Chain A
Amino acid sequence: MGLLEVAGPIMVGPSSSHTLGALKIARFAYKLMGIPEEVTFVLHGSFALTYKGHGTDRALLAGIVGLKPDDTRVKDAFAIAQSYGLKFNFEVSDLGEVHPNTVLVKAKRGNIYNEVRGSSVGGGAIKINQINGVDCDLTGEFPTLVILNRDLPGALRGILECITYNIANVYLRRVNALEGLALTIIELDSNIDDETLKKLRTNKYVLEIYNVKSEEGENLGIQ
Protein backbone atom coordinates (compact mmCIF):
# COMPACT_ATOMS: atom_id res chain seq x y z
CA MET A 1 0.00 0.00 0.00
CA GLY A 2 1.30 3.41 -0.96
CA LEU A 3 0.15 6.95 -1.71
CA LEU A 4 -1.71 5.92 -4.86
CA GLU A 5 -3.63 3.15 -3.13
CA VAL A 6 -4.63 5.59 -0.38
CA ALA A 7 -5.63 8.37 -2.78
CA GLY A 8 -7.31 5.99 -5.24
CA PRO A 9 -8.29 3.88 -7.04
CA ILE A 10 -10.82 5.18 -9.51
CA MET A 11 -13.77 2.81 -9.57
CA VAL A 12 -17.52 2.69 -9.77
CA GLY A 13 -19.38 2.56 -6.49
CA PRO A 14 -20.71 1.69 -4.10
CA SER A 15 -18.19 -0.52 -2.36
CA SER A 16 -14.62 -1.57 -3.00
CA SER A 17 -15.30 -5.12 -1.79
CA HIS A 18 -18.65 -5.57 -3.50
CA THR A 19 -18.13 -3.84 -6.83
CA LEU A 20 -14.40 -3.29 -7.45
CA GLY A 21 -13.27 -6.65 -6.06
CA ALA A 22 -16.10 -8.55 -7.74
CA LEU A 23 -15.39 -6.88 -11.08
CA LYS A 24 -11.71 -7.76 -10.86
CA ILE A 25 -12.45 -11.46 -10.19
CA ALA A 26 -14.76 -11.68 -13.21
CA ARG A 27 -12.31 -9.67 -15.30
CA PHE A 28 -9.62 -12.21 -14.47
CA ALA A 29 -11.85 -14.85 -16.07
CA TYR A 30 -12.35 -12.52 -19.06
CA LYS A 31 -8.62 -12.04 -19.44
CA LEU A 32 -8.19 -15.79 -19.22
CA MET A 33 -10.56 -16.69 -22.05
CA GLY A 34 -12.26 -13.63 -23.51
CA ILE A 35 -16.01 -13.05 -23.41
CA PRO A 36 -17.76 -16.39 -22.89
CA GLU A 37 -21.05 -17.47 -24.48
CA GLU A 38 -22.40 -18.66 -21.16
CA VAL A 39 -21.48 -17.77 -17.63
CA THR A 40 -22.73 -18.78 -14.20
CA PHE A 41 -21.71 -16.86 -11.12
CA VAL A 42 -21.99 -18.89 -7.94
CA LEU A 43 -22.17 -16.47 -5.03
CA HIS A 44 -21.14 -17.43 -1.53
CA GLY A 45 -21.55 -15.93 1.94
CA SER A 46 -21.96 -12.18 2.14
CA PHE A 47 -21.90 -11.95 -1.67
CA ALA A 48 -24.86 -14.32 -1.76
CA LEU A 49 -26.84 -12.25 0.74
CA THR A 50 -26.30 -8.75 -0.60
CA TYR A 51 -25.19 -8.99 -4.22
CA LYS A 52 -28.17 -7.11 -5.63
CA GLY A 53 -28.17 -4.16 -3.25
CA HIS A 54 -24.45 -3.70 -3.70
CA GLY A 55 -24.49 -3.97 -7.49
CA THR A 56 -22.20 -7.01 -7.29
CA ASP A 57 -24.23 -8.67 -10.05
CA ARG A 58 -23.58 -5.77 -12.44
CA ALA A 59 -19.92 -5.61 -11.44
CA LEU A 60 -19.47 -9.31 -12.20
CA LEU A 61 -21.14 -8.99 -15.60
CA ALA A 62 -19.07 -5.89 -16.36
CA GLY A 63 -15.90 -7.79 -15.53
CA ILE A 64 -16.75 -10.83 -17.62
CA VAL A 65 -17.35 -8.67 -20.72
CA GLY A 66 -14.02 -6.94 -20.11
CA LEU A 67 -15.00 -3.56 -18.70
CA LYS A 68 -12.36 -1.97 -16.48
CA PRO A 69 -13.09 -1.05 -12.85
CA ASP A 70 -13.46 2.69 -13.61
CA ASP A 71 -15.72 2.29 -16.66
CA THR A 72 -18.86 4.38 -16.25
CA ARG A 73 -20.84 1.72 -18.15
CA VAL A 74 -20.51 -0.79 -15.30
CA LYS A 75 -24.01 0.10 -14.09
CA ASP A 76 -25.39 -0.81 -17.54
CA ALA A 77 -23.67 -4.20 -17.51
CA PHE A 78 -26.89 -6.20 -17.90
CA ALA A 79 -27.68 -4.47 -21.20
CA ILE A 80 -24.07 -4.73 -22.37
CA ALA A 81 -23.93 -8.45 -21.56
CA GLN A 82 -27.17 -8.96 -23.50
CA SER A 83 -25.77 -7.03 -26.47
CA TYR A 84 -22.93 -9.59 -26.61
CA GLY A 85 -25.51 -12.38 -26.54
CA LEU A 86 -24.02 -13.59 -23.27
CA LYS A 87 -26.18 -16.08 -21.40
CA PHE A 88 -25.74 -15.41 -17.71
CA ASN A 89 -26.99 -16.85 -14.52
CA PHE A 90 -26.55 -16.06 -10.82
CA GLU A 91 -26.69 -18.85 -8.27
CA VAL A 92 -26.40 -18.77 -4.54
CA SER A 93 -24.55 -21.61 -2.89
CA ASP A 94 -22.31 -22.56 0.00
CA LEU A 95 -18.81 -22.93 -1.42
CA GLY A 96 -17.42 -24.28 1.84
CA GLU A 97 -14.55 -22.94 3.90
CA VAL A 98 -13.82 -19.81 1.89
CA HIS A 99 -13.79 -16.03 2.50
CA PRO A 100 -17.33 -14.58 2.98
CA ASN A 101 -17.05 -12.55 -0.24
CA THR A 102 -16.36 -15.36 -2.66
CA VAL A 103 -17.66 -16.05 -6.16
CA LEU A 104 -17.11 -18.97 -8.48
CA VAL A 105 -17.18 -17.99 -12.15
CA LYS A 106 -18.08 -20.82 -14.52
CA ALA A 107 -17.55 -19.73 -18.10
CA LYS A 108 -18.05 -21.57 -21.36
CA ARG A 109 -17.33 -20.74 -24.97
CA GLY A 110 -17.57 -23.45 -27.62
CA ASN A 111 -15.72 -26.40 -26.16
CA ILE A 112 -13.65 -24.21 -23.82
CA TYR A 113 -14.80 -24.31 -20.22
CA ASN A 114 -13.10 -22.66 -17.26
CA GLU A 115 -13.81 -22.13 -13.61
CA VAL A 116 -12.26 -19.29 -11.63
CA ARG A 117 -12.92 -18.89 -7.93
CA GLY A 118 -11.97 -15.64 -6.27
CA SER A 119 -12.50 -13.76 -3.04
CA SER A 120 -12.84 -10.03 -2.56
CA VAL A 121 -10.71 -9.58 0.53
CA GLY A 122 -11.22 -5.87 1.26
CA GLY A 123 -10.33 -2.48 -0.18
CA GLY A 124 -10.83 -3.82 -3.70
CA ALA A 125 -8.04 -6.37 -3.33
CA ILE A 126 -8.76 -9.88 -4.59
CA LYS A 127 -7.41 -13.39 -4.24
CA ILE A 128 -7.92 -15.82 -7.07
CA ASN A 129 -7.83 -18.98 -5.02
CA GLN A 130 -8.85 -21.70 -7.45
CA ILE A 131 -8.63 -22.17 -11.20
CA ASN A 132 -10.26 -25.23 -12.75
CA GLY A 133 -10.22 -27.01 -9.42
CA VAL A 134 -6.56 -26.31 -8.66
CA ASP A 135 -5.86 -24.24 -5.56
CA CYS A 136 -3.71 -21.17 -6.00
CA ASP A 137 -3.16 -17.80 -4.37
CA LEU A 138 -3.03 -15.00 -6.94
CA THR A 139 -3.64 -11.28 -6.43
CA GLY A 140 -4.53 -10.82 -10.09
CA GLU A 141 -1.98 -8.02 -10.31
CA PHE A 142 0.70 -10.09 -11.99
CA PRO A 143 0.67 -11.85 -15.34
CA THR A 144 -0.41 -15.44 -15.03
CA LEU A 145 -0.22 -18.44 -17.34
CA VAL A 146 -2.75 -21.22 -16.93
CA ILE A 147 -1.64 -24.33 -18.74
CA LEU A 148 -3.38 -27.66 -19.20
CA ASN A 149 -0.55 -30.08 -19.85
CA ARG A 150 0.26 -33.77 -20.18
CA ASP A 151 0.93 -35.43 -16.87
CA LEU A 152 4.26 -36.92 -17.90
CA PRO A 153 7.79 -36.96 -16.46
CA GLY A 154 9.67 -33.86 -17.58
CA ALA A 155 6.50 -31.92 -18.42
CA LEU A 156 7.07 -29.13 -15.91
CA ARG A 157 10.71 -28.82 -16.89
CA GLY A 158 9.73 -28.73 -20.57
CA ILE A 159 7.29 -25.91 -19.90
CA LEU A 160 9.56 -23.88 -17.64
CA GLU A 161 12.41 -24.14 -20.17
CA CYS A 162 10.35 -22.03 -22.57
CA ILE A 163 10.08 -19.22 -20.02
CA THR A 164 13.02 -16.88 -19.54
CA TYR A 165 11.04 -14.44 -17.38
CA ASN A 166 11.25 -14.40 -13.61
CA ILE A 167 8.68 -16.75 -12.12
CA ALA A 168 7.07 -15.69 -8.85
CA ASN A 169 4.93 -18.76 -8.13
CA VAL A 170 4.11 -22.12 -9.67
CA TYR A 171 1.12 -24.29 -8.85
CA LEU A 172 0.86 -27.75 -10.37
CA ARG A 173 -1.65 -30.49 -9.83
CA ARG A 174 -2.78 -33.61 -11.61
CA VAL A 175 -6.37 -33.01 -12.64
CA ASN A 176 -7.18 -36.25 -14.44
CA ALA A 177 -5.11 -39.36 -13.83
CA LEU A 178 -7.07 -41.42 -16.35
CA GLU A 179 -6.46 -39.05 -19.24
CA GLY A 180 -3.03 -38.03 -17.90
CA LEU A 181 -3.79 -34.34 -17.49
CA ALA A 182 -2.28 -31.77 -15.14
CA LEU A 183 -2.91 -28.08 -14.62
CA THR A 184 0.00 -25.70 -14.17
CA ILE A 185 -0.50 -22.13 -13.00
CA ILE A 186 2.52 -19.84 -13.34
CA GLU A 187 2.59 -16.35 -11.85
CA LEU A 188 5.20 -14.11 -13.45
CA ASP A 189 6.78 -10.74 -12.70
CA SER A 190 6.18 -9.43 -16.22
CA ASN A 191 4.10 -10.15 -19.31
CA ILE A 192 5.59 -12.69 -21.72
CA ASP A 193 6.29 -11.78 -25.35
CA ASP A 194 4.61 -13.38 -28.37
CA GLU A 195 7.63 -15.55 -29.17
CA THR A 196 7.52 -17.17 -25.72
CA LEU A 197 3.79 -17.69 -26.01
CA LYS A 198 4.29 -19.37 -29.40
CA LYS A 199 6.98 -21.65 -27.96
CA LEU A 200 4.62 -22.65 -25.18
CA ARG A 201 1.69 -23.23 -27.51
CA THR A 202 3.74 -25.59 -29.65
CA ASN A 203 5.38 -27.32 -26.68
CA LYS A 204 4.71 -31.07 -26.81
CA TYR A 205 3.47 -31.17 -23.22
CA VAL A 206 1.07 -28.23 -23.55
CA LEU A 207 -2.54 -28.94 -24.48
CA GLU A 208 -4.20 -25.61 -23.66
CA ILE A 209 -2.66 -22.34 -22.57
CA TYR A 210 -4.30 -19.17 -21.27
CA ASN A 211 -2.25 -16.00 -20.96
CA VAL A 212 -3.69 -13.61 -18.37
CA LYS A 213 -1.83 -10.37 -18.99
CA SER A 214 -1.50 -7.54 -16.55
CA GLU A 215 -1.93 -3.98 -17.73
CA GLU A 216 -0.09 -1.04 -16.30
CA GLY A 217 -2.11 1.00 -13.83
CA GLU A 218 -5.11 -1.25 -14.37
CA ASN A 219 -5.73 -1.85 -10.71
CA LEU A 220 -5.54 1.82 -9.81
CA GLY A 221 -7.68 3.06 -12.66
CA ILE A 222 -4.79 5.31 -13.63
CA GLN A 223 -3.74 5.86 -17.21
Chain B
Amino acid sequence: MVFSDLLTIWRNTGLEFSEIILAQEMMETGRDPVAVKRSLKYLMDVMLEEAQKNFGKPFKTLTGLTGNNAAKLCASKPRVLSEFNWVATVTALSMAESNAAMGRIVACPTAGSCGVMPAMLYALRNVKEADNEGLLKAFIVASGVGNVVAKKATLSGAAGGCQAEIGTATAMAAALMTYYFSHNPETVGHASALALKSLMGLVCDPVGGFVEVPCVKRNAIAVNVAIACAEMALAGIESVIPFDEVVEAMYHVGRSLPESLKETGLGGIAATRTAQKLVESIHKTLNSGSET
Protein backbone atom coordinates (compact mmCIF):
# COMPACT_ATOMS: atom_id res chain seq x y z
CA MET B 1 0.00 0.00 0.00
CA VAL B 2 1.38 3.36 -1.00
CA PHE B 3 0.48 6.62 0.71
CA SER B 4 -1.53 7.94 -2.24
CA ASP B 5 -3.82 4.88 -2.03
CA LEU B 6 -4.53 5.69 1.61
CA LEU B 7 -5.28 9.29 0.62
CA THR B 8 -7.68 8.08 -2.09
CA ILE B 9 -9.59 5.96 0.43
CA TRP B 10 -9.75 8.94 2.74
CA ARG B 11 -11.01 11.28 -0.01
CA ASN B 12 -13.65 8.75 -1.04
CA THR B 13 -14.87 7.86 2.43
CA GLY B 14 -13.99 10.77 4.69
CA LEU B 15 -13.28 8.26 7.46
CA GLU B 16 -10.89 9.01 10.31
CA PHE B 17 -7.43 8.49 8.75
CA SER B 18 -6.03 6.44 11.63
CA GLU B 19 -8.98 4.03 11.25
CA ILE B 20 -8.24 3.70 7.52
CA ILE B 21 -4.65 2.76 8.36
CA LEU B 22 -5.81 0.15 10.89
CA ALA B 23 -8.33 -1.26 8.39
CA GLN B 24 -5.58 -1.48 5.77
CA GLU B 25 -3.38 -3.31 8.25
CA MET B 26 -6.19 -5.84 8.74
CA MET B 27 -6.39 -6.36 4.97
CA GLU B 28 -2.64 -6.95 4.73
CA THR B 29 -1.87 -8.94 7.87
CA GLY B 30 -5.22 -10.22 9.08
CA ARG B 31 -4.67 -8.55 12.43
CA ASP B 32 -7.62 -7.34 14.47
CA PRO B 33 -7.70 -3.51 14.30
CA VAL B 34 -8.79 -3.22 17.93
CA ALA B 35 -5.83 -5.35 19.05
CA VAL B 36 -3.42 -3.43 16.82
CA LYS B 37 -4.68 -0.13 18.21
CA ARG B 38 -4.25 -1.43 21.75
CA SER B 39 -0.71 -2.62 21.00
CA LEU B 40 0.19 0.71 19.38
CA LYS B 41 -1.14 2.51 22.44
CA TYR B 42 1.07 0.32 24.59
CA LEU B 43 4.12 1.16 22.45
CA MET B 44 3.29 4.88 22.73
CA ASP B 45 2.80 4.64 26.48
CA VAL B 46 6.17 2.92 26.91
CA MET B 47 7.84 5.69 24.87
CA LEU B 48 6.24 8.39 27.02
CA GLU B 49 7.06 6.55 30.23
CA GLU B 50 10.71 6.07 29.27
CA ALA B 51 10.97 9.68 28.07
CA GLN B 52 9.66 10.91 31.42
CA LYS B 53 12.00 8.61 33.35
CA ASN B 54 15.12 9.46 31.33
CA PHE B 55 14.61 13.16 30.61
CA GLY B 56 17.92 15.01 30.94
CA LYS B 57 19.66 12.21 32.86
CA PRO B 58 23.32 11.25 32.47
CA PHE B 59 24.01 7.73 31.20
CA LYS B 60 26.92 5.34 31.34
CA THR B 61 26.99 4.05 27.79
CA LEU B 62 28.76 0.93 26.57
CA THR B 63 31.74 2.76 25.05
CA GLY B 64 31.57 6.07 26.93
CA LEU B 65 31.62 8.04 23.67
CA THR B 66 28.27 9.58 24.61
CA GLY B 67 26.20 9.72 27.77
CA ASN B 68 26.27 13.30 29.03
CA ASN B 69 24.67 15.16 26.16
CA ALA B 70 21.08 15.07 27.41
CA ALA B 71 22.18 16.19 30.86
CA LYS B 72 24.21 19.07 29.40
CA LEU B 73 21.40 20.41 27.26
CA CYS B 74 18.95 19.94 30.11
CA ALA B 75 21.16 22.06 32.39
CA SER B 76 21.53 24.79 29.81
CA LYS B 77 18.95 27.54 29.35
CA PRO B 78 18.06 27.71 25.65
CA ARG B 79 19.08 30.98 23.90
CA VAL B 80 16.85 30.74 20.87
CA LEU B 81 15.17 27.33 20.80
CA SER B 82 11.50 27.38 21.76
CA GLU B 83 10.46 25.42 24.82
CA PHE B 84 8.88 22.84 22.51
CA ASN B 85 12.08 22.33 20.50
CA TRP B 86 14.19 22.29 23.66
CA VAL B 87 12.05 19.63 25.37
CA ALA B 88 12.02 17.56 22.18
CA THR B 89 15.79 17.87 21.75
CA VAL B 90 16.55 16.91 25.36
CA THR B 91 14.16 13.94 25.05
CA ALA B 92 15.74 12.75 21.80
CA LEU B 93 19.22 12.88 23.35
CA SER B 94 17.98 11.16 26.52
CA MET B 95 16.36 8.27 24.68
CA ALA B 96 19.24 7.80 22.25
CA GLU B 97 21.70 7.79 25.17
CA SER B 98 19.52 5.43 27.17
CA ASN B 99 19.61 3.13 24.13
CA ALA B 100 23.41 3.29 24.09
CA ALA B 101 23.37 2.42 27.80
CA MET B 102 21.20 -0.68 27.25
CA GLY B 103 18.08 1.02 28.53
CA ARG B 104 14.58 0.03 27.49
CA ILE B 105 13.53 1.66 24.23
CA VAL B 106 10.93 1.30 21.54
CA ALA B 107 12.60 0.65 18.19
CA CYS B 108 10.28 3.09 16.44
CA PRO B 109 11.20 2.59 13.68
CA THR B 110 14.69 1.29 14.67
CA ALA B 111 16.92 1.21 17.75
CA GLY B 112 19.38 3.68 16.24
CA SER B 113 16.61 6.21 15.58
CA CYS B 114 14.67 5.51 18.77
CA GLY B 115 14.89 9.07 20.11
CA VAL B 116 12.93 10.98 17.48
CA MET B 117 9.37 9.71 17.96
CA PRO B 118 9.33 9.81 21.78
CA ALA B 119 10.80 13.33 21.56
CA MET B 120 7.86 14.51 19.47
CA LEU B 121 5.31 12.63 21.61
CA TYR B 122 6.74 13.91 24.86
CA ALA B 123 6.99 17.51 23.72
CA LEU B 124 3.41 17.44 22.43
CA ARG B 125 2.13 16.00 25.67
CA ASN B 126 4.21 18.06 28.08
CA VAL B 127 4.49 21.40 26.31
CA LYS B 128 1.27 21.42 24.27
CA GLU B 129 -0.74 19.35 26.77
CA ALA B 130 -1.82 17.02 23.99
CA ASP B 131 -4.75 14.74 24.84
CA ASN B 132 -4.11 10.99 24.78
CA GLU B 133 -6.73 10.12 22.18
CA GLY B 134 -5.49 12.78 19.75
CA LEU B 135 -1.92 11.70 20.36
CA LEU B 136 -2.78 8.05 19.72
CA LYS B 137 -4.53 8.84 16.42
CA ALA B 138 -1.53 10.89 15.32
CA PHE B 139 0.80 8.07 16.41
CA ILE B 140 -1.17 5.55 14.33
CA VAL B 141 -0.91 7.88 11.31
CA ALA B 142 2.85 8.24 11.93
CA SER B 143 3.18 4.44 12.09
CA GLY B 144 1.28 4.23 8.80
CA VAL B 145 3.79 6.63 7.24
CA GLY B 146 6.66 4.47 8.55
CA ASN B 147 4.93 1.39 7.19
CA VAL B 148 4.83 2.90 3.69
CA VAL B 149 8.61 3.34 3.85
CA ALA B 150 9.09 -0.20 5.19
CA LYS B 151 6.97 -1.67 2.39
CA LYS B 152 8.36 0.38 -0.51
CA ALA B 153 11.93 0.96 0.63
CA THR B 154 13.79 -0.10 3.79
CA LEU B 155 14.20 0.94 7.43
CA SER B 156 17.63 -0.60 7.74
CA GLY B 157 20.80 1.48 7.97
CA ALA B 158 22.78 -1.48 6.66
CA ALA B 159 20.58 -1.60 3.56
CA GLY B 160 19.74 2.05 2.97
CA GLY B 161 21.99 4.24 5.11
CA CYS B 162 20.95 6.56 7.94
CA GLN B 163 18.35 8.21 5.70
CA ALA B 164 16.37 4.96 6.00
CA GLU B 165 16.49 5.01 9.80
CA ILE B 166 16.66 8.62 10.97
CA GLY B 167 15.05 9.81 7.74
CA THR B 168 12.04 7.59 8.30
CA ALA B 169 11.85 8.47 11.98
CA THR B 170 11.82 12.14 11.00
CA ALA B 171 9.09 11.62 8.41
CA MET B 172 7.06 9.77 11.05
CA ALA B 173 7.58 12.47 13.69
CA ALA B 174 6.62 15.19 11.18
CA ALA B 175 3.49 13.16 10.35
CA LEU B 176 2.67 12.85 14.03
CA MET B 177 2.86 16.55 14.76
CA THR B 178 1.07 17.49 11.54
CA TYR B 179 -1.81 15.09 12.07
CA TYR B 180 -2.18 16.10 15.69
CA PHE B 181 -2.70 19.75 14.75
CA SER B 182 -4.44 19.45 11.37
CA HIS B 183 -6.21 16.07 11.17
CA ASN B 184 -5.47 16.44 7.49
CA PRO B 185 -3.80 13.45 5.78
CA GLU B 186 -2.80 15.52 2.75
CA THR B 187 -0.89 17.91 4.99
CA VAL B 188 0.69 14.88 6.64
CA GLY B 189 1.90 13.67 3.24
CA HIS B 190 3.56 17.01 2.58
CA ALA B 191 5.21 17.14 6.01
CA SER B 192 6.55 13.59 5.67
CA ALA B 193 7.84 14.25 2.17
CA LEU B 194 9.57 17.45 3.28
CA ALA B 195 11.21 15.60 6.17
CA LEU B 196 12.44 12.65 4.15
CA LYS B 197 13.75 14.96 1.43
CA SER B 198 15.65 16.97 4.03
CA LEU B 199 17.60 13.92 5.13
CA MET B 200 17.94 12.29 1.70
CA GLY B 201 21.37 10.77 1.25
CA LEU B 202 22.29 10.70 4.92
CA VAL B 203 24.91 7.98 5.36
CA CYS B 204 25.19 5.43 8.16
CA ASP B 205 28.70 5.92 9.53
CA PRO B 206 28.82 4.94 13.21
CA VAL B 207 32.24 5.23 14.82
CA GLY B 208 33.45 1.69 15.49
CA GLY B 209 30.04 0.42 14.43
CA PHE B 210 28.63 1.45 17.83
CA VAL B 211 25.23 3.14 17.98
CA GLU B 212 26.61 6.30 19.64
CA VAL B 213 28.56 8.66 17.39
CA PRO B 214 26.98 10.29 15.42
CA CYS B 215 23.68 8.46 16.08
CA VAL B 216 22.78 10.08 19.42
CA LYS B 217 23.07 13.67 18.22
CA ARG B 218 21.45 12.89 14.89
CA ASN B 219 18.32 11.91 16.78
CA ALA B 220 18.31 15.33 18.40
CA ILE B 221 18.78 17.18 15.12
CA ALA B 222 16.20 15.00 13.40
CA VAL B 223 13.35 15.94 15.70
CA ASN B 224 14.04 19.62 14.99
CA VAL B 225 13.91 18.91 11.26
CA ALA B 226 10.59 17.15 11.86
CA ILE B 227 9.22 20.13 13.80
CA ALA B 228 10.27 22.57 11.05
CA CYS B 229 8.81 20.39 8.28
CA ALA B 230 5.52 19.93 10.16
CA GLU B 231 5.33 23.66 10.82
CA MET B 232 5.90 24.39 7.11
CA ALA B 233 3.25 21.88 6.03
CA LEU B 234 0.79 23.24 8.60
CA ALA B 235 1.34 26.68 7.09
CA GLY B 236 0.24 25.28 3.74
CA ILE B 237 3.65 24.73 2.19
CA GLU B 238 3.48 21.73 -0.10
CA SER B 239 6.11 19.24 -1.15
CA VAL B 240 6.47 19.48 -4.90
CA ILE B 241 7.30 15.78 -5.01
CA PRO B 242 4.67 13.47 -3.47
CA PHE B 243 5.66 11.32 -0.48
CA ASP B 244 5.53 7.99 -2.35
CA GLU B 245 8.01 9.22 -4.94
CA VAL B 246 10.31 10.61 -2.26
CA VAL B 247 10.28 7.16 -0.65
CA GLU B 248 11.22 5.55 -3.97
CA ALA B 249 13.99 8.09 -4.46
CA MET B 250 15.31 7.41 -0.96
CA TYR B 251 15.37 3.70 -1.74
CA HIS B 252 17.35 4.23 -4.93
CA VAL B 253 19.79 6.54 -3.17
CA GLY B 254 20.24 3.88 -0.49
CA ARG B 255 20.93 1.22 -3.11
CA SER B 256 23.56 3.40 -4.77
CA LEU B 257 25.41 4.21 -1.53
CA PRO B 258 28.67 2.26 -1.24
CA GLU B 259 28.86 -0.40 1.47
CA SER B 260 31.37 1.72 3.40
CA LEU B 261 28.52 4.16 4.11
CA LYS B 262 25.99 1.57 5.26
CA GLU B 263 26.62 0.64 8.90
CA THR B 264 29.99 -0.95 8.30
CA GLY B 265 31.91 1.62 10.35
CA LEU B 266 34.34 1.98 7.45
CA GLY B 267 33.33 5.28 5.85
CA GLY B 268 32.08 8.77 6.63
CA ILE B 269 33.00 10.09 10.06
CA ALA B 270 33.81 6.51 11.17
CA ALA B 271 36.81 6.62 8.84
CA THR B 272 38.28 9.82 10.30
CA ARG B 273 41.65 9.73 12.11
CA THR B 274 40.07 10.70 15.41
CA ALA B 275 37.39 8.03 15.09
CA GLN B 276 39.97 5.37 14.39
CA LYS B 277 42.07 6.40 17.37
CA LEU B 278 38.99 6.33 19.60
CA VAL B 279 37.98 2.90 18.38
CA GLU B 280 41.46 1.55 19.05
CA SER B 281 41.34 2.84 22.59
CA ILE B 282 37.78 1.53 23.16
CA HIS B 283 38.78 -1.94 22.04
CA LYS B 284 41.76 -1.87 24.40
CA THR B 285 39.55 -0.86 27.33
CA LEU B 286 36.83 -3.38 26.52
CA ASN B 287 39.28 -6.21 26.13
CA SER B 288 41.16 -5.47 29.33
CA GLY B 289 38.25 -4.31 31.51
CA SER B 290 36.11 -6.50 33.73
CA GLU B 291 33.06 -8.12 32.14
CA THR B 292 30.57 -6.68 34.53
Contact = CB atoms under 8 A, between A and B. Distances in A.
Contacts, number: 138
Nearest to A123: B156
Contact of A12 (B43, B105, B108, B210): B105
A122 interface: yes
Interface string B107-132: 11111101000000000000000000
A8 interface: yes
Given A1-B150, A14-B100, A54-B62, A7 B109 contact: yes
B101 A13 contact: yes
A74 B99 CA distance: 12
Given A19-B102, A123-B155, A2 B29 contact: yes
Contacts of B111: 11, 13-16, 19-20
Contact of A6 (B42, B98, B155): B155
Interface in A29-88: 46, 50, 52-55, 57-58, 70, 72, 74-75, 78-79
Contacts of B110: 16, 123
B116 to A, nearest CB: 12
A222 B105 contact: no
Interface string B21-45: 1100100110100001001101100
B211 interface: yes
B64 to A, nearest CB: 10
Given A13-B105, A50-B208, A53-B286, 6 more contacts: A7-B143, A9-B107, A14-B61, A52-B286, A123-B155, A220-B39
Q: Which 10 A-B pairs have the closest CB atoms?
A: A13-B99, A75-B102, A14-B211, A7-B143, A52-B286, A6-B146, A78-B292, A2-B29, A222-B39, A6-B147
11 contacts: A3-B21, A4-B40, A6-B108, A8-B106, A9-B107, A12-B105, A14-B99, A50-B210, A75-B101, A122-B158, A217-B39
Interface of B: 21-22, 25, 28-29, 31, 36, 39-40, 42-43, 46, 61-63, 98-112, 114, 139-140, 142-144, 146-147, 150-151, 155-156, 158-159, 208-212, 282-283, 286-287, 291-292
